[in-house]
């Protein structure tokens, strides 16, 4: 992908690239691919194999996890400047959730091979990338913990269960 | 401390197409209203009456025989306890309470639930056992097909909750006339003339539906379409009655009744907070739409040239409208229509259909007879009358179709 001024300006506001120098950002940009999704198109399903992460440039992605039958719980909406799918990028495990376009979406795709190349050619940039990624992981872990608490609260409210009483 | 907003889930429900979906917000309060509390097994508890010289109404002692815990229940709480059979949702229990006592205490149900849970006297059942069973056996093609059909039909629901203003305006700009003595007199006169016209038609015209000629199917479809529109009018009048008694219309929409009958519906449950007279008037006036429309149709049929399409169309419409009136007001047909709601309101037995079916099921499956004195007679009467009525209704419709096609 060509490192256009627009793309570079966009990536500067993506959290994992915030600390990148201009030359490093240009190198990363050249390794990114663009992928467009039409509204409601499924990018990947829970259980699929994968080795790419995606940055949302335009539109909204829904990340959902199967609950029962045809019902899935919406875990998060991914808006522009945010990213998803990074877990498979690191450990190569199957996708833990389904990603589907809520609107027409424009994505930037970063593959595992690109990440490895970046580690070798621009170690300083790679370190900044991994540091930012750890911070994001911690935030997402906190959000997951909060979701578990909300799910418990939902269950207590829906059943009227009085757990405070002895 | 400020109470947090009810917890919500955002769920993505897939449609038949691979990528198509619908997003639904499910608040915990919806789960609460749809939950179906169930008493522990009858062998595990006992209830005894507690008479007091001070209090007019008796109290009750409810004992969990397993834990030896006691609860003191009021008559109202005893009534609620009796409803908690695992098949009745909290929303239905609240409605039954209002019908029984004519008022509602917003704290009584949550408070009783807390007491019962603490005493380990309660369990909770899933919303629909049928749907749970279907989901478990989804591997079978036929089960999957049934589930898909039910799900598809259930999804077709077009409704709006923002209708109070519309019905208030409708009432203000003429709807109030429906509830005046003038309207009552005009409708009575119209019905008398319509009944006379119907009598003359049946006496003088050998085959009222002959006018359909070779266009029987088109005629029947047109009659059904007109009837479908009249169902919307029926619901509008329910809404106007609700406004007349200064209550709130919560929702108006279109759906498939019981999963397969296309119909319009209106949520006038706020009328439960009004007087019994208001509830009865609201229930009955909607159905009277069919009486008036049927009368008009018979008058038109009587005036139309004998053997014409107009006569056949009007006569068939008259029959179907008056038939709808009977179905709506006749309480014994296993369907909870307007007449059923009036009946249970007057009798003060809000769970009549449910109890009667449970009684019949117990007898038929050999699970045992539920002995409840005079209520048993009421259940038997309901089952017998409903069965005969449904059979008669089906036979009558077959006769109409056979008459129209020969």
ipTM of the modeled complex? 0.81
- Helix boundaries (H) for chain A: 5-12, 22-31, 86-91, 112-121, 123-159
Cβ(A82)–Cβ(A88) under 8 Å? no
| Domain assignment present for A71 | yes
Residues A25, A82, single domain; the answer is: no
Q: What is the pLDDT of residue B142?
A: 78
C-beta atoms of A162 and B118 within 8 A:
yes
Residues A38, A21, single domain; the answer is: no
Residues A27, A68, single domain; the answer is: no
Residues A22, A80, single domain; the answer is: no
Count other C-beta atoms under 10 Å from residue B342's C-beta. 20
A7 in contact with B at a CB cutoff of 8 Å? Answer: no
Contacts of B28 in chain A (CB under 8 A): 153-158
> Where would I find the beta strands (DSSP E) of B222-361?
251-257, 261-267
Q: Which residue of B has its CA nearest to A102?
A: B21
Residues A44, A102, single domain; the answer is: yes
d(CA B41, CA B199): 57
| Domain assignment present for A117 | no
| Domain assignment present for A8 | yes
Residue-wise pLDDT for A100-148, tens only, equals: 999 999 999 999 888 888 888 888 888 888 888 999 889 989 988 988 8
C-beta atoms of B23 and A74 within 8 A:
yes
Q: What is the pLDDT of residue B370?
A: 61
Residues A48, A104, single domain; the answer is: yes
Q: What is the pLDDT of residue B126?
A: 47
Cβ(B299)–Cβ(B194) under 8 Å? yes
Cβ(B160)–Cβ(B166) under 8 Å? no
- Look at chain B and count its residues: 406
Cβ(B256)–Cβ(B250) under 8 Å? no
A149 in contact with B at a CB cutoff of 8 Å? Answer: no
Closest CA to A64 of B229, B22, B87: B22
Spans of chain B below 50 pLDDT: 1, 54-55, 126-127
C-beta atoms of B11 and A74 within 8 A:
yes
Q: What is the pLDDT of residue B176?
A: 92
| Domain assignment present for A162 | no
Q: In what order do the strands lie in the sheet with A83-84?
A: A33-37, A105-111, A52-58, A83-84
Does residue A55 have a pLDDT over 90? Answer: yes
Residues A56, A104, single domain; the answer is: yes
Q: What is the pLDDT of residue B293?
A: 95
C-beta atoms of A70 and B13 within 8 A:
yes
Contacts of A41 in chain B (CB under 8 A): 19
| Domain assignment present for A160 | no
- Per-residue CA distances from A87 to A49, A94, A116, B250 (Å): 11, 9, 15, 46
Residues A5, A39, single domain; the answer is: no
Question: Mean pLDDT score of chain A, rounded to an integer?
Answer: 88
Residues 6+ apart with CB under 8 A from B370: B358, B359, B362, B376
Q: What does the H/E/C string look like for B12-54?
A: EEECCCCCCEEEEEEEHHHHHHHCEEEECCHHHEEEEEECCCC
Count other C-beta atoms under 10 Å from residue A162's C-beta. 15
Q: Which residue of A has its CA nearest to B26?
A: A154
What is the 8-class DSSP label of residue A86? H
Residues A17, A66, single domain; the answer is: no
Contacts of A62 in chain B (CB under 8 A): 12
| Domain assignment present for A25 | yes
Domain extent at residue A9: 1-31+123-155
Q: What is the pLDDT of residue A166?
A: 47
Distance of CA A126 to the CA centre of its chain: 18
C-beta atoms of B118 and A100 within 8 A:
no
What is the 8-class DSSP label of residue B61? E
d(CA A32, CA B123): 55
C-beta atoms of A72 and B11 within 8 A:
yes
Query: At A49, which CATH number?
Result: 2.60.120.10
Residue-wise pLDDT for B62-71, tens only, equals: 888 777 677 7
Within 42-61 of A, beta carbons closer than 8 Å to B belong to 42
Nearest by CB to B7, which of A72, A153, A165?
A: A153
| Domain assignment present for A163 | no
C-beta atoms of B7 and A165 within 8 A:
no
User: Which residues of B sit within 8 Å Cβ distance of A?
Assistant: 4, 6-15, 18-21, 23, 28-32, 35, 110, 113-114, 117-118, 124, 135, 138, 151
* Tally of structural domains, chain A: 2
Q: What is the pLDDT of residue B94?
A: 87
Q: Which residue of B has its CA nearest to A75?
A: B10
| Domain assignment present for A118 | no
Count residue pairs from A and B with Cβ separation < 8 A: 78
Contacts of A166 in chain B (CB under 8 A): 118
Residues 6+ apart with CB under 8 A from B46: B62, B63, B65
Residues A101, A38, single domain; the answer is: yes
Q: Which residues pair with B45 in a beta bridge?
A: B64
Alpha-carbon distance B148 to nearest alpha carbon in chain A (angstroms): 11
Residues A70, A95, single domain; the answer is: yes
Residues A13, A74, single domain; the answer is: no
């Amino acid at each position: 992908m060509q490192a256009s001024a627009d793309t570079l300006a966009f990536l500067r506001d993506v959290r994992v690239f915030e600390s990148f120098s201009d030359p490093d950002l240009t190198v990363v940009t050249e390794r990114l691919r663009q992928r467009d999704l039409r509204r409601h198109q499924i990018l990947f399903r829970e259980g699929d194999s994968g080795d790419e992460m995606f940055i949302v440039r335009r539109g909204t992605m829904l990340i959902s996890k199967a609950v029962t039958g045809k019902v899935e719980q919406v875990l998060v909406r991914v808006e522009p400047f945010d990213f998803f799918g990074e877990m498979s990028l690191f450990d190569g495990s199957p996708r833990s959730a389904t990603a589907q376009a809520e609107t027409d979406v424009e994505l930037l795709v970063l593959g595992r091979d690109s990440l490895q190349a970046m580690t070798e050619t621009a170690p300083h940039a790679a370190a900044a990338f991994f540091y930012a990624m750890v911070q994001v992981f911690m935030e997402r872990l906190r959000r997951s913990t909060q979701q578990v608490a909300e799910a418990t609260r939902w269950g207590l409210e829906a059943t009227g269960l009085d757990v405070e009483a002895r | 401390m400020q109470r947090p907003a009810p917890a919500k889930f955002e769920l993505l429900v897939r449609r038949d197409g691979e990528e198509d979906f619908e997003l639904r917000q499910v608040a915990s309060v919806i789960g609460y209203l749809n939950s179906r509390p169930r008493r522990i097994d009858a062998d595990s508890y006992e209830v005894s009456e507690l008479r007091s010289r001070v209090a007019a109404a008796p109290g009750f002692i409810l004992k969990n025989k397993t834990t030896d815990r006691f609860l003191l229940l009021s008559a109202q709480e005893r009534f609620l306890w009796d409803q908690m059979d695992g098949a009745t949702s909290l929303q239905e229990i609240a409605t039954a309470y209002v019908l029984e006592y004519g008022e509602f205490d917003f704290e009584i149900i949550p408070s009783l639930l807390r007491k019962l849970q603490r005493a380990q006297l309660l369990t909770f059942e899933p919303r629909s056992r049928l749907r749970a069973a279907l989901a478990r056996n989804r591997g079978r093609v036929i089960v999957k097909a049934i589930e898909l059909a039910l799900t598809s039909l259930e999804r077709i629901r077009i409704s709006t909750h923002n209708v109070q203003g519309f019905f208030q305006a409708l009432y203000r700009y003429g709807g109030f006339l429906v509830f005046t003595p003038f309207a009552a007199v005009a409708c009575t006169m119209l019905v008398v003339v319509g009944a006379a016209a119907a009598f003359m038609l049946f006496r003088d015209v050998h085959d009222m539906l002959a006018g359909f000629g070779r266009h029987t199917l088109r005629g029947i479809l047109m009659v059904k379409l007109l009837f479908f529109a009249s169902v919307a009018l029926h619901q509008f009048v329910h809404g106007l009655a609700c406004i007349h008694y200064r209550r709130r219309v919560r929702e108006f929409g279109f759906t498939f009744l019981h999963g397969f009958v296309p119909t319009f519906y209106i949520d006038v449950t706020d009328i439960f907070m009004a007087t019994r007279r208001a509830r009865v008037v609201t229930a009955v006036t909607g159905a009277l739409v069919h009486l008036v429309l049927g009368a008009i149709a018979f008058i038109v049929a009587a005036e139309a040239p004998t053997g014409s399409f107009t006569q056949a169309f009007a006569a068939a419409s008259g029959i179907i409208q008056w038939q709808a009136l009977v179905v709506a007001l006749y309480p014994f047909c296993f369907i909870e229509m307007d007449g059923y709601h009036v009946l249970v309101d007057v009798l003060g037995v809000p769970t009549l259909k449910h109890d009667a079916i449970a009684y019949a099921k117990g007898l038929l499956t050999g699970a045992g007879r539920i002995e409840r004195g005079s209520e048993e007679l009421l259940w038997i009467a309901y089952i017998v009358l409903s069965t005969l009525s449904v059979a008669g209704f089906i036979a009558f419709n077959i006769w109409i179709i056979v008459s129209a096609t020969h």
